[in-house]
Chain A
């Protein structure tokens, strides 16, 4: 199993540009989520999904959209990038059982100029 994969690894955008961060998992996990991590800080939850067709907001959802058309994929879209969105983005997945643990991807390092 590849686990949780994220692309790209690095990205530089200009203010106002849009892009999609890709996340995929091959563990048949129902639950997937996106976090961002600013320098020197812990991770903060952006959006999450408990299954295909179901998404919900986390702690810091503004400026981001998500969709979940398949179990495997959970892309994160930035419609109009802002410098405040410069961060490292992590995708995670798990089963839905009460004590299932999260598996994290390697992250995407995004810089918005």
Chain B
């Protein structure tokens, strides 16, 4: 599975959009991009995933560049409860159970 690179930390003002980048320049054609988050040492929580097309659900949007070498997770209206560590993971669809977590991005949402 491809390695991903994320900034270690980011700040965002409450109510504003939080844009979390992820680089996965070695991703292969059958690897998906998954996002999970971990709030204050709780178990990780699935957010969204995608292959090629942009995706949106009730939690977030995922924008994947056309060359698939990078992506951005967008939380449209960040709240204090979105303060968490966000993990971007690239993996083959057959390995979705074998998540490889990097350091992630610590998002601090500030009032």
- Chain A contact residues, CB within 8 Å of chain B: 4, 31, 33, 35, 41-45, 48, 50, 58-59, 88, 90, 92, 94, 98-107
B42–A42 CB distance below 8 A: no
Q: How far is the CB of B6 from chain A (nearest CB, A)?
A: 11
Q: How far is the CB of A56 from chain B (nearest CB, A)?
A: 10
A4–B87 CB distance below 8 A: no
CA distance A79 to B46 in the complex (A): 32
Residue of B whose beta carbon sits closest to that of A104: B43
Residue of B whose beta carbon sits closest to that of A98: B93
- Residues on B with C-beta less than 8 A from A107 are 41-43
Asked if A42 meets B98 with Cβ closer than 8 Å, knowing A90-B43, A90-B44, A101-B49, the reply is no
- Residues on A with C-beta less than 8 A from B104 are 42
B96–A98 CB distance below 8 A: yes
Secondary structure of the A contact surface, majority rule: strand
Secondary structure of the B contact surface, majority rule: loop
- Residues on B with C-beta less than 8 A from A98 are 93-94, 96
CA distance A42 to B46 in the complex (A): 15
Q: How far is the CB of B39 from chain A (nearest CB, A)?
A: 11
26 A-B interface contacts by CB (under 8 A):
A4-B43, A35-B99, A35-B101, A42-B100, A42-B102, A42-B104, A45-B98, A48-B97, A59-B100, A92-B43, A92-B44, A94-B97, A98-B94, A98-B96, A99-B93, A99-B96, A101-B34, A101-B49, A101-B96, A102-B44, A102-B46, A102-B97, A102-B99, A103-B46, A106-B42, A107-B41
